[in-house]
Amino acid sequence: MFVSSYKTKYFIYGFIAAVSFLFIQCREDNEDIKTPVTENVIVVVIDGPRFSETWGDSAGSLMPFMKDSMLASGVLLANFFNDGATETTAGHTAMLTGYYQTINNSGQELPDHPSVFQYFLKHNNLDSTSAWVITSKDKLEVLTDCKDSAWQHQFRPARDCGISGLGSGNREDSLTLTRALDIFDTYHPNLTLIHFKEPDVSAHAGDWQAYVRGIRDGDRWAFAVWKFIQNDPVYANRTTLFVTHDHGRHVDGISNGFVSHGDSCPGCRHISLFAYGPEFDQDRIIIDRYSQIDLPVTIASLLGFTMEGTDGKKIEDLYK
Ligand SMILES: [Zn+2]
Ligand SMILES: [Zn+2]
């Protein structure tokens, strides 16, 4: 009798312990699924290539790093579009504010609406160096502020734009990459835009070979950022990278073809979005259609806040 109750007692204790353990495990598993792990987002914009020379290139790859190394780690949205004005400032404004706006393209006008940078800094009550706008073209300094009187001159990200860093003259993309990696090392910002001016500038000069070289260089810059994320102890496994474009260029037969952009032809509208991050799937190409204004909504969701008023939607297809 004594032996039997002794065994029964320990059997019950054991049973309770096992059930508790399973319960705790299940809770931890569920919490792992629900808790986003992205703490940092980096958006790389390669200015103005056509889809036909990037992911849509069937003749030969101008993007060996993205196609052969990076795609296996992330997701490609092959049907991503600029549905507004297909100019540099307008494209950037759409993907940072969630609004298609007809905006002056020379750096003479601020976006109407606050950017994802301003929302992020306000939401987390952080100082400007937690978010950076780093651009080869000086005019893109306008992306650091907006016209909305409730937001203007407030919650502005730090900036490093053009040759002076403060917006006077464009600079080389190699220097922009160096500056970006220095800023990552020094500040480890939570939210960063890096803009490279090529291949757009060479295309406007009508130089096909330089345009092609600009796409190859953009591929290398994107790869350098992707490698930096993986090798950096603060960024590794906690950082999402997007690589995209502000607009494409005219298809052959429209105006002067690859040289220019700015209308609603398929070449100007069709861009792409590559996404790599802890919440996202890997080695997948998605053909569902998305639009530039969906990007800030997705970034906001990853970083734990919401953008108001925009018609953009979270890009659910990216997720595991
Ligand atoms: Zn552009
Ligand atoms: Zn066009």
Return the pLDDT at 293.
Answer: 98
Q: Ligand 2 centroid vs 259 CA: distance in angstroms? A: 10
Return the pLDDT at 311.
Answer: 97
Q: Ligand 2 centroid vs 241 CA: distance in angstroms? A: 28
Q: Ligand 2 centroid vs 260 CA: distance in angstroms? A: 7
Return the pLDDT at 164.
Answer: 81
Name 228's Cβ contacts closer than 8 Å, sequence gap at least 6: 181, 184, 235
Return the pLDDT at 76.
Answer: 98
Q: Ligand 1 centroid vs 246 CA: distance in angstroms? A: 5
Is 30 a residue whose pLDDT tops 80?
Answer: no
Q: Ligand 2 centroid vs 86 CA: distance in angstroms? A: 8
User: Could you tell me which residue, 16 or 303, shows the higher pLDDT?
Assistant: 303
Return the pLDDT at 2.
Answer: 46
Ligand positioned closest to the Cα atom of 91: 1
Two tokens at 262?
């700015």
Q: Ligand 2 centroid vs 31 CA: distance in angstroms? A: 47
Q: Ligand 2 centroid vs 107 CA: distance in angstroms? A: 22
Q: Ligand 1 centroid vs 79 CA: distance in angstroms? A: 18
Q: Ligand 2 centroid vs 51 CA: distance in angstroms? A: 12
Residue 256 neighbours by CB distance under 10 Å: 12
Two tokens at 139?
């005019």
CATH classification code of 39-318:
3.40.720.10
d(CA 224, CA 138): 22
Q: Which residues surround ligand 1, an ion (CB under 5 A)?
A: 47-48, 88, 200, 246
d(CA 118, CA 141): 14
Q: Ligand 1 centroid vs 210 CA: distance in angstroms? A: 16
Return the pLDDT at 26.
Answer: 47
User: Could you tell me which residue, 163 or 181, shows the higher pLDDT?
Assistant: 181
Please compute the mean of the pLDDT values over residues 186-211 and round it to a whole number.
98
d(CA 115, CA 162): 20
Q: Ligand 1 centroid vs 67 CA: distance in angstroms? A: 22
Please compute the mean of the pLDDT values over residues 270-284 and round it to a whole number.
98
User: Could you tell me which residue, 32 or 217, shows the higher pLDDT?
Assistant: 217
- Torsion over CA of 16, 21, 22 and 23, rounded to 10 degrees? 90
Is 59 a residue whose pLDDT tops 60?
Answer: yes
Q: Ligand 2 centroid vs 115 CA: distance in angstroms? A: 27
> What's the Rg (C-alpha) of the chain?
23
d(CA 231, CA 11): 49
> How far is C-alpha 127 from the chain's CA centre?
21
291 neighbors 80 (Cβ within 8 angstroms): yes
pLDDT digit string (tens) for 75-133? 999 999 999 999 999 999 999 999 999 999 999 999 999 999 999 999 999 999 999 99
Q: Ligand 1 centroid vs 187 CA: distance in angstroms? A: 27
Q: Ligand 1 centroid vs 31 CA: distance in angstroms? A: 41
Ligand positioned closest to the Cα atom of 137: 1
Hey, what long-range contacts does 309-312 have (CB within 8 A, 24 or more apart)? 309/98, 309/99, 309/113, 310/97, 310/98, 310/99, 310/113, 311/98, 312/98
Lowest mean pLDDT among 30-39, 64-73, 215-224, 248-257: 30-39
Residue 207 neighbours by CB distance under 10 Å: 15
pLDDT digit string (tens) for 228-267? 999 999 999 999 999 999 999 999 999 999 999 999 999 9
**pTM over cut 0.85:** yes
d(CA 64, CA 261): 25
Q: Ligand 1 centroid vs 90 CA: distance in angstroms? A: 9
Q: Ligand 1 centroid vs 28 CA: distance in angstroms? A: 45
Residue 279 neighbours by CB distance under 10 Å: 14
| Nearest-5° Cα angle at 115, 140 to 299 | 110
Name 304's Cβ contacts closer than 8 Å, sequence gap at least 6: 36, 123
Ligand positioned closest to the Cα atom of 200: 1
Burial class (CB in 10 A: 0-12, 13-18, 19+), 188: middle
- DSSP for 168-234, please give it: SS---HHHHHHHHHHHHHHH--SEEEEEE-TTHHHHHTT-HHHHHHHHHHHHHHHHHHHHHHHH-TT
Three-state secondary structure call for residue 25: helix
